[in-house]
Structure 1
Amino acid sequence: MKQKPPVQPGQVIEYEITGQGHSGTGVGRFKGFTVFVPQAVPGEKVRARMTQVKKNYGQAELLQVLKPHPDRTDPLCPVFAECGGCQSQHLSYETQLRLKRQQVIASFERIGGLQHITIHPVIGMKVPWRYRNKAQIPFGQEDGRVIAGFYRPGSHQIIDMDACLIQHPENDRVVAAVKQLANELNIPAYDEQKHQGVLRHVMVRIGVQTNELMVVLVTNGDYLPHQKTLLEQLRSQFPNLKSIVQNINRKRTNVILGPDNRLLWGSPVIYDMIGSIRFSISPHSFFQVNPSQTKVLYDQVRKYAALTGTETVVDAYCGIGTIALYLAQDAKQVYGVEIVPQAIEDARYNAELNGMKHVRFEAGAAEQVMPRWLKEGIKPDVIVVDPPRKGCDPALLDAVVGMLPDRLVYVSCNPATLARDAKLLAEKGYATVEVQPVDMFPQTGHVECVAKIILKS
């Protein structure tokens, strides 16, 4: 018989933190039982209260650090301990980078079973603050007033805030202005328990290179009270505002954006640059949130792709075409495939915007489109994949291997699924040579990686 866990909810324990889980959570073992606790660091001894107990692991809240890590520091944000937006402000930035590299190494060793891969030090930022070009902030009601902020970890309780130190300052200003106007104009915030109210979220996007600003007001239905006054006030306060959009989301859901956008004023898109490539950005567009590090990331993709101008490239998760168009500067021909039709429309427009006629985009599942391309005689020298956190579908990896590229460049926001897929690719004749982590998300537990994978000779 399996033994019962040695802890129960509400129990206070003291134990050593020996490792780091995903999203920067501390992890250790209490009487042989794995316990995760936020804001704890490997090497620390902590006192924690059990909040959840499963068969094989538990979760706890940090009560006291009994033996602190030497690089523990005071967080700059006054609501860091309550807010779920960041996980690592209590650590020096150098320590954050070191722990992220260790997370990548551990993933490859434990999940991938791959131990002889070069994992480079993480490329960090000179100033690891105020980097996010997109804010998505939920709104709510508290004591009769409208509040806005991130959720408390593990809950839907909004922690009201006036500023977020990882957001672009302009995003903060817009969120604060909308909150103030909602209170002055009595625009009710959405209550997710009752499914009532109007204002659900505000999304702000800024083109960091162009300084163009987009505001998306996510509402629970068509009606937006005092719309004219709200728009006039926003336009007068923000001269760089180019687009105001109402996004309608009527569903009881955690998904932020609904399917319908209504242009209230200005342009349906804003523009930004990555290097010399110009991109249009709509409310639903996926565009990396850290523009300066995006260029670092894409330059690394470019390095591992090793293009000379004669190669054919396939981008298997092309989105709005960011990586495909960035690589098209050095390639003979680029093909991009993406399952979201709207993203492909945006990618085609972005290719036209940059005068790139040697790029072809197609909507569909990559594992279906790529075998057809192969039958059409399309033989890539390099394939790039940049999948979501869950990694590549096995059928997609089969399609990649079926095209027999010389090189595969794998961009990943999840070291665990990257390591898993690297193991599968190793079984199919492709060796991961090296991995370059890039810190796209300072002050959080997340790390982006670029892996160089080659066909074994």
Structure 2
Amino acid sequence: MLKKNDIVEVEIVDLTHEGAGVSKVDGLVFFVENALPSEKILMRVLKVNKKIGFGKVEEYLVQSPHRNQDLDLDYLRSGIADLGHLAYPEQLKFKTKQVKDSLYKIAGIADVEVAETLGMENPVKYRNKAQVPVRRVNGILETGFFRKNSHDLMPLEDFFIQDPVIDEVVVGLRDLLRRYDLKPYDEKEQAGLIRNLVVRRGHYSGQIMVILVTTRPKVFRVDQLIEQLIKQFPEIVSVMQNINDQNTNAIFGKEWRTLYGQDYITDQMLENDYQIAGPAFYQVNTQMAEKLYQTAIDFAELKEDDVVIDAYSGIGTIGLSVAKHVKEVYGVEVIPEAVENSKKNAQLNNISNAHYVCDTAENAMKNWLKDGIQPTVILVDPPRKGLTESFIKASSQTGANRIAYISCNVATMARDIKLYQELGYELKKVQPVDLFPQTHHVETVALLSKLDVDKHISVEIELDEMNLTSAESKATYAQIKEYVWNKFELKVSTLYIAQIKKKCGIELREHYNKSKKDKQIIPQCTPEKEEAIMDALRHFKMI
């Protein structure tokens, strides 16, 4: 039985979602930082539980041909670039696999092609925003990044994935904080003044915003500090102060002050101009965000008479990008400052058909339905926790025939797609996009289409639970698809499954929105696929 500090030779067989190496020893699964598949290492055991353990590399016996030998290990230790030790083409393959695996394991989807991840030509120095903690290290005020899984600051001057001008501003500001003897925050003692520095820079405009996050309002000689900072970096158009006096890991508190200039910077995305406030969400990789949003727009196949809902609209970047090509856009965002930015951004770009409200996405969706707004396309870009069940159900009730789902967390996206499938939507396309090179994070665009669009008969997927037979409740459409694919390697549609279920006497309630076309073309299930579906129904004891 392995114990702490034992050293054992192992082979790395896989990577976790977060980029740690995986090895198997004596029936245990070990996770090892900075280890890649096909590598053989001497591993020191750090911790052992009943089924899993953690180790670290003592020596590389065989290294992967895909290892990036040039990476500064500080970027791995800090978590800034937790996939930076893997060559970039392999990072893209890794991310494609993550998307495929999540769709299969969580949603049971194996029959939809996942395109290869779109990558960057130069996958470094891309971030347009830095959030940098300020702490005392060895008696000196330092800026840098926390060591992975800790709050121990690692002093850094080159952040590898950040815009190099932002790095210069951070270092210049650090030196001024030292000169004016402003005290860094001490997390243990709950003392000190300067907690964090946040710097934004417009990718196209070059405008810079600096945010001082402090524990109290008064900052000694702040006017002199700002004067010196502007002399050094004349591109700065905004210096903000955020006051956060809480014992929390959150970067920002509730109170904001403008110390210099305006309270926003301006930048461009997909040929529109945007005002970006301090607390507003804005994608940190402008170049790849344009590819991400353009992919979603292309997937949606927008037409002039489309009515579009832009859920989780941020400062309006997606909705305003499509507004000039559709009839109306309705956006919702929960952050008030972002909603104000959205309205100003619409005016800035002479867009009059985009309407924004401050609310939760699910509440706004319900209110729009009450007001008779009937979207044909829904664009969603939720936070990592994904969509709420109430939003998914409300959005499916609108009758929108296309949903373009932009996700920063493929696991929650897969969960949400599974529910959408059960409510009458079919996954059509999936495109991963690498907004965060050198890290394990991946963005994904997925297109969901309502089954009664064009040539499909519409069948109610979410059956009335009060009238379910015991057979109907045995398996979902996604589970049946998964079974047929795994056993027969055949792709079967929800329509075909519904046809065979009806043929077997399993009653289905027709959808209220059934196509009104007089001569609709209804594709019929082939004998081969019919037998495969019948086998699945027998497997799940539905017949």
Report the equivalent of 2:506: none
Contact 2:386 2:412 in 1 (8 A): yes
Larger radius of gyration: 2
CA offset at residue 200 of structure 1? Answer: 0.8
Counterpart-to-counterpart distance in 2, 1:65 and 1:80: 19
Counterpart-to-counterpart distance in 2, 1:261 and 1:52: 44
Among residues 231, 242, 247, which one is paired with 1:247 in the alignment?
A: 242
Report the equivalent of 1:3: none
Contact 2:27 2:51 in 1 (8 A): no
Report the equivalent of 1:318: 313
Contact 1:371 1:403 in 2 (8 A): no
Cα deviations by residue, 1:362-413 (Å, 9 ceiling, x for unpaired): 1212222212212221111111111111211111111111112111101011
Report the equivalent of 1:411: 406
2:92 counterpart of 1:97: yes
Report the equivalent of 2:488: none
Report the equivalent of 1:335: 330
In the TM superposition, 1:6-85 aligns within 5 A as 10-53=5-48, 57-77=52-72, 79-85=74-80
Counterpart-to-counterpart distance in 2, 1:45 and 1:112: 34
Cα 1:392–1:32, aligned 2, differ >3 Å: closer, same or farther? farther
The one-letter code sitting in structure 2 at the alignment partner of 1:385 is V
Counterpart-to-counterpart distance in 1, 2:43 and 2:73: 22
Contact 1:198 1:223 in 2 (8 A): no
Cα 1:35–1:111, aligned 2, differ >3 Å: closer, same or farther? farther
Contact 1:201 1:217 in 2 (8 A): yes
2:381 counterpart of 1:425: no
Q: Give the secondary-structure state (helix, strand or coil) at the position aligned to 1:397.
A: helix
Counterpart-to-counterpart distance in 2, 1:241 and 1:264: 12
Contact 1:271 1:281 in 2 (8 A): yes
2:370 counterpart of 1:375: yes
Q: Give the secondary-structure state (helix, strand or coil) at the position aligned to 2:396.
A: helix
Counterpart-to-counterpart distance in 1, 2:326 and 2:362: 23
Counterpart-to-counterpart distance in 2, 1:145 and 1:26: 36
Report the equivalent of 1:273: 268
Cα 1:327–1:29, aligned 2, differ >3 Å: closer, same or farther? farther
CA offset at residue 416 of structure 1? Answer: 1.4
RMSD over equivalenced CA pairs, Å? 1.8
Among residues 119, 128, 134, which one is paired with 1:124 in the alignment?
A: 119
Counterpart-to-counterpart distance in 2, 1:64 and 1:112: 40
Counterpart-to-counterpart distance in 2, 1:455 and 1:162: 50
Counterpart-to-counterpart distance in 1, 2:117 and 2:152: 34
Cα deviations by residue, 1:188-213 (Å, 9 ceiling, x for unpaired): 11111111111111000001111101
Contact 1:77 1:165 in 2 (8 A): no
Counterpart-to-counterpart distance in 2, 1:73 and 1:230: 41
Report the equivalent of 1:164: 159
2:129 counterpart of 1:134: yes
2:181 counterpart of 1:214: no
CA offset at residue 18 of structure 1? Answer: 2.9
Report the equivalent of 1:386: 381
Counterpart-to-counterpart distance in 2, 1:453 and 1:248: 42
Identity of counterpart residues, as a percentage? 38
CA offset at residue 52 of structure 1? Answer: 4.9
Cα 1:360–1:11, aligned 2, differ >3 Å: closer, same or farther? farther
CA offset at residue 57 of structure 1? Answer: 3.9
Report the equivalent of 1:189: 184
Cα 1:53–1:263, aligned 2, differ >3 Å: closer, same or farther? farther
CA offset at residue 103 of structure 1? Answer: 1.1
Q: Give the secondary-structure state (helix, strand or coil) at the position aligned to 2:130.
A: strand
Among residues 305, 308, 315, which one is paired with 2:303 in the alignment?
A: 308
In the TM superposition, 1:336-351 aligns within 5 A as 336-351=331-346
Contact 1:212 1:241 in 2 (8 A): yes
The one-letter code sitting in structure 1 at the alignment partner of 2:89 is E
CA offset at residue 61 of structure 1? Answer: 3.4
Cα 1:76–1:18, aligned 2, differ >3 Å: closer, same or farther? closer
Deviates most, 133-142 or 69-78:
69-78
Deviates most, 101-110 or 286-295:
101-110
Contact 2:240 2:260 in 1 (8 A): yes
Contact 1:25 1:445 in 2 (8 A): no
2:154 counterpart of 1:179: no
Contact 2:242 2:254 in 1 (8 A): yes
CA offset at residue 176 of structure 1? Answer: 0.4
2:393 counterpart of 1:401: no
Cα 1:396–1:66, aligned 2, differ >3 Å: closer, same or farther? farther
| Runs of 5+ consecutive residues of structure 2 not aligned to the other structure | 457-543
Cα 1:402–1:38, aligned 2, differ >3 Å: closer, same or farther? farther
CA offset at residue 231 of structure 1? Answer: 0.6
Counterpart-to-counterpart distance in 1, 2:419 and 2:341: 32
Cα 1:260–1:59, aligned 2, differ >3 Å: closer, same or farther? farther
The one-letter code sitting in structure 1 at the alignment partner of 2:214 is T
CA offset at residue 82 of structure 1? Answer: 2.6
Counterpart-to-counterpart distance in 1, 2:41 and 2:149: 20
Q: Give the secondary-structure state (helix, strand or coil) at the position aligned to 2:167.
A: helix
Contact 2:277 2:338 in 1 (8 A): no
Counterpart-to-counterpart distance in 1, 2:47 and 2:324: 51
Cα deviations by residue, 1:36-83 (Å, 9 ceiling, x for unpaired): 333222333344444455565444434333332211121343622432
Counterpart-to-counterpart distance in 1, 2:109 and 2:429: 11
The one-letter code sitting in structure 2 at the alignment partner of 1:372 is N
Q: Give the secondary-structure state (helix, strand or coil) at the position aligned to 1:79.
A: helix
* TM-score between both structures, scaled by the size of structure 1: 0.94
Counterpart-to-counterpart distance in 2, 1:396 and 1:34: 38
The one-letter code sitting in structure 2 at the alignment partner of 1:389 is R
Report the equivalent of 1:453: 448
The one-letter code sitting in structure 1 at the alignment partner of 2:220 is P
In the TM superposition, 1:108-119 aligns within 5 A as 108-119=103-114
CA offset at residue 340 of structure 1? Answer: 2.4
Q: Give the secondary-structure state (helix, strand or coil) at the position aligned to 1:432.
A: strand
Which structure is higher in RCO with an 8 Å CA cutoff and minimum separation 6?
1
